[in-house]
Amino acid sequence: MNIEITDRAKEKLQLMKDNNVPIALTRYPVGCSSFKYKIVSIKPSNRDKVYNVDGFDITVTDDSEFKLKGAKIDYGGLIKDFIVTPKF
């Protein structure tokens, strides 16, 4: 899976990894026909896939995989959280 992770995001993901917190990329609906993508802390299900990206095991939920190829993960913004930008 071709996912880019910025240095800021790598620092926060490393904290999660050091504390054995599972890392997953998932999507959730917003509005009538849109989705947002988010880093969450869930263990993989049987249908999910786990990818090693820059040394991090990242679970990609089954319904998110296609849209996340080429995505960029950053950290920051006003609410100091992960920012997942899919590549369309």
* pLDDT score, position 6: 95
Where does the chain have alpha helices with state H? 7-18
Neighbour-count burial of 10, counting CB atoms closer than 10 A to its CB (0-12 exposed, 13-18 middle, 19+ buried): middle
Q: Which domains does the chain have, with CATH numbers?
A: 4-85 (2.60.300.12)
What average pLDDT does range 31-42 have in this prediction?
84
Token pair listed for 72: 């960029």
Contact at 8 Å (CB) between 23 and 57?
A: yes
Computed over every residue of the chain, the mean pLDDT equals 86
* pLDDT score, position 79: 73
pTM of the model: 0.82
